[in-house]
C-alpha cells in the first residue's frame, strides 16, 4: 500500500473487515472503514462492515436500527444476505427472534442466513427502533453511526472537549464535531495505528 488516500472505498472496507476482529488492530479497522465511508457511503462492503461493527461499538439495538438502513440501500444480494444475518444475530441476542425448530443454536450458518422460517417480534423491533431513533430518521441514524465510527477511530473529535465518552445519541448532531488535527497525516499514512 502506498498511501491511504490511494485506496478505493471497496479496498479500504475490505482492509477494515480483515483487521477489525484482531484486537490489536481494532482501531485501524475503524479508521479504514471511516475512510471508506467518507469516500462512498453506499459502498456495499463498507455497509456490511459498519453493520457488524455497530454491534460492538454501540450495542445490539443500534445495530438493528442501522441494519434496517444498510439492508435497504445495499444492492448486492450477497451483501444484503450478510447484513440480514448480522441483524438476526442481534435480534436473537435481544430475544426478539424465534424459529419453529425451537433450538436456534442448532441451526447451521446457512440456515441462519437463508431460512425464511424465522419469526421476528415486530413489537419488540418497533419499541427498539422508536427508542434508538427518538424522532430521527433511519438515514440520520446511519449518519450518526458513521460519525460515531469516526470518533471511536480518533478521526473526529468534539468541538468542545468533554470528559464523558461520546455515545451514539451524541452523534445525531454532527455540528458538534470536527476532524482531528492530524487528519491530513492520516490520509497520507502508509500504515494505520492509534496515533490518529
Query: Using one digit for the tens of pLDDT, what is the confidence trace for 91-128?
Result: 999 999 999 888 888 888 888 888 889 999 999 999 99
Cα atoms in the 13 Å half-sphere on the side-chain side of 109: 3
Task: Please tell me the predicted confidence (pLDDT) of residue 2.
Answer: 60
For 97-102, the CB contacts below 8 A with 24+ separation are 97/121
Q: What average pLDDT does this structure show over 6-24?
A: 87
pLDDT single digits (tens) 132-189: 999 999 999 999 999 999 999 999 999 987 766 789 999 999 999 999 999 888 888 7
Task: Tell me the whole-structure pTM to 2 decimals.
Answer: 0.90
Cα atoms in the 13 Å half-sphere on the side-chain side of 18: 7
Q: For the chain, give the percent of residues with pLDDT over 70.
A: 93
Amino acid at each position: 500500500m502506498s498511501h491511504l488516500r490511494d485506496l478505493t472505498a471497496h479496498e479500504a472496507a475490505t482492509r477494515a473487515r480483515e483487521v477489525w476482529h484482531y484486537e490489536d488492530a481494532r482501531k485501524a479497522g475503524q479508521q479504514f472503514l471511516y475512510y471508506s465511508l467518507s469516500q462512498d457511503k453506499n459502498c456495499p462492503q463498507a455497509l456490511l462492515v459498519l453493520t457488524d461493527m455497530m454491534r460492538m461499538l454501540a450495542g445490539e439495538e443500534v445495530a438493528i436500527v442501522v441494519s434496517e438502513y444498510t439492508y435497504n440501500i445495499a444492492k448486492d444480494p450477497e451483501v444484503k444476505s450478510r447484513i440480514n444475518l448480522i441483524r438476526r444475530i442481534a435480534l436473537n441476542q435481544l430475544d426478539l427472534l424465534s424459529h419453529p425448530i425451537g433450538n436456534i443454536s442448532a441451526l447451521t450458518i446457512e440456515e441462519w442466513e437463508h431460512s425464511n422460517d424465522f419469526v421476528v417480534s415486530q413489537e419488540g423491533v418497533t419499541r427498539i427502533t422508536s427508542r434508538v431513533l427518538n424522532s430521527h430518521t433511519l438515514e440520520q441514524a446511519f449518519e450518526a453511526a458513521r460519525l460515531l465510527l469516526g470518533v471511536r477511530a480518533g478521526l473526529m473529535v468534539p468541538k468542545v472537549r468533554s470528559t464523558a465518552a461520546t455515545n451514539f445519541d451524541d452523534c445525531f448532531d454532527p455540528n458538534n464535531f470536527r476532524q482531528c488535527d492530524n487528519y491530513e497525516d492520516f490520509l497520507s499514512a502508509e500504515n494505520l495505528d492509534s496515533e490518529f
